[in-house]
Amino acid sequence: MKIGLLIAFAGRNCGGPEVGEREIVRELSAAAPQHEYHLYCLDRRAPDIIDLQGDNIVYHLLEPSVRVVSMLTTLPRTIKRTRPDVFHAPVIPPPFCPRDMIMSMPCSATVRHPEFYPPLIRMRLKFLLHRAIPKAARVICVSEHVREVVLEEFHVPAERLPVIYPGASRLFRPIAESEKRAFVEEKHAIRYPYFLFCGRWEQRKNVVRTLEAFARFKRESHSEHKLVFSGERTWASEKADAIIAQLGIRNEIVDLGKTAVDELPYLYGAADALVFASLWEGFGMPIVEAMACGTPVITSNLAAMPETAGNAALLVNPYSVEEIAAAMHRIVSDADLRVLLRERGLQRAPLFTWEKTARKILDLYEQVAGDRRRKTAVLSQ
């Protein structure tokens, strides 16, 4: 089978989407090396990020470098020339819809909470999704929550909306206490207990209330804990900086910026807890990454986060500063709770692996390719 994949983010140093594209390509080719994989890349650095070579791996570098232009011109021409049996857009659909396209729906915030995005991004995503979803052969939903949103908003037949969970990289695993402490001290001069926030500084991630909850926790506990941020700053970070100054907690906040993926297992592992009180997530990958590292998780009781976390996290109302702060208190003061959350997280994390994801996606490819062959046979009669 000839499989075409749109590689839209690899090479852009954009975190989750880039990692997701890399992992799925690697796991697909490992699980089914008999297939031929055509990777349509919007960035010339993508082959280095995917870092996969073989007779069955073909990279197509799309020109020009202006993404919108190449998506509208070079991509459809290249697909027509290479004629894949199935075409999959793992993160974002193209503006045109190839026959029997499979697309992934990684989040529902673009549909339910477009106000979380700047106007231009909001308009572009709305256009792409409303154009692609009704026509796609399958829309892979990353959670039952996302599937319910797509059903309600787009009225797509349920059989076209399979739920396939994404996975966490094998990098995320428990690390010996002495090793992870030595790493964070040597790399980032972290010699104190801390909570970790992992994600982009944007409105949807609820950075401001997380900061307010941490300040409340500090006032009430007089703890030595700091709040460590690992993630890229965005358009919403100015408001967060203003809150930090207003609350007088500048010395208690450690901003590491966007850290390398291979550093994250150490940062997760050495933290007392991940604080991920996001306002909306279609899945919530940091939850699984933290659980895989044996780190307790504080997360939200909204959208897909309870589905992802199961019983392995403290769930809070993300709009309540008091609840987030109280969860921090519980983590710090209750050693038995920390042990329980660690054990439950380590038990739950193996449910989400890229290997499992790839095998389910391969089954879906077979279904769509089979449907296409049957249609062709009927038409030729």
DSSP result, 97-131: --TTEEEEE--SHHHH-GGGS-HHHHHHHHHHHHH
Sign of CA dihedral 171, 161, 284, 122: positive
Instruction: Look at the chain and report how many structural domains it folds into.
Output: 2
Residue 141 and residue 114 share a domain: yes
| Residue 266 covered by a domain | yes
Do 239 and 258 share a domain, yes or no? yes
If asked whether residues 248 and 357 sit together in one domain, one would say: no
Here the tokens at position 141 are 């939903």
| Residue 172 forms part of a structural domain | no
The verdict on residue 70 lying in a domain is yes
Quick one: pLDDT at residue 331?
Answer: 98
Q: Which two tokens stand for residue 255?
A: 């901003």
Query: Roughly what angle, to the nearest 10 degrees, separates helices 207-221 and 237-247?
Result: 20
Per-residue pLDDT 10s for the chain (381 aa) are 999 999 999 988 777 888 899 999 999 999 999 999 999 999 999 999 999 999 999 999 999 988 889 999 999 999 999 999 999 999 989 998 777 899 999 989 888 998 888 888 888 888 999 999 999 999 999 999 999 999 999 999 999 999 999 999 999 999 999 999 999 999 999 999 999 999 999 889 999 999 999 999 999 999 999 999 999 888 778 899 999 999 999 999 999 999 988 999 999 999 999 999 999 999 999 999 999 999 999 999 999 999 999 999 999 999 999 999 999 999 999 999 999 999 999 999 999 999 999 999 999 999 998 887 777 666 666
Residue 379 main-chain phi, psi, to 5 deg: -70, -30
What are the tens digits of pLDDT across the range 314-363?
999 999 999 999 999 999 999 999 999 999 999 999 999 999 999 999 99
Q: Sign of the CA dihedral 57, 72, 8, 305?
A: negative
- Looking at residue 65, its pLDDT comes to 84
Cβ distance 198 to 267 under 8 Å? yes
Dihedral of the alpha carbons of 372, 373, 377, 379, in degrees to the nearest 10: 20
Residues 66 and 200 in one domain: no
SS3 content of the chain, % helix, strand, coil (to 5): 50, 15, 35
CA distance 53 to 289: 27
Which residue range is the domain that position 96 belongs to?
2-167+353-380
Same-domain status, 197 and 156? no
Helix (H, G, I), strand (E, B) or coil at 62: coil
Residues 6 and 38 in one domain: yes
What is the C-alpha separation between 30 and 229, in angstroms, rounded? Answer: 34
Task: Give the per-residue pLDDT at 381.
Answer: 62
Is residue 253 located within the same domain as residue 359?
no
Residue 327 and residue 123: Cα distance in Å, rounded?
37
The radius of gyration of the chain's CA atoms, rounded to the nearest angstrom, is 22
* CATH number, domain with residue 74: 3.40.50.2000
**Chain centroid to CA 138:** 20
Same domain, 251 and 145: no
Residues 181 and 80 in one domain: no
| Residue 91 domain flag | yes
Phi, psi of 231 (to 5 degrees): 165, 160
Is residue 288 situated within a structural domain?
Answer: yes
Structure tokens at 124: 């572009």
Beta strands at 273-276 and 57-61: parallel, antiparallel or unpaired: unpaired
44 and 122 co-located in one domain: yes
- The answer to whether residue 217 sits within a structural domain is yes
Question: Which residue carries 């692609």 as its tokens?
Answer: 132
Same domain, residue pair 266 and 359: no
Q: pTM of the prediction?
A: 0.94
Token digits for 229? 């941020």
> Which string of DSSP letters, residue by residue, matches 163-223?
B----B-TT-----HHHHHHHHHHHH---S-EEEEES-BSGGGTHHHHHHHHHHHHHHH--
In a domain, 300, yes or no: yes
- Check whether residue 247 and residue 373 sit in a common domain: no
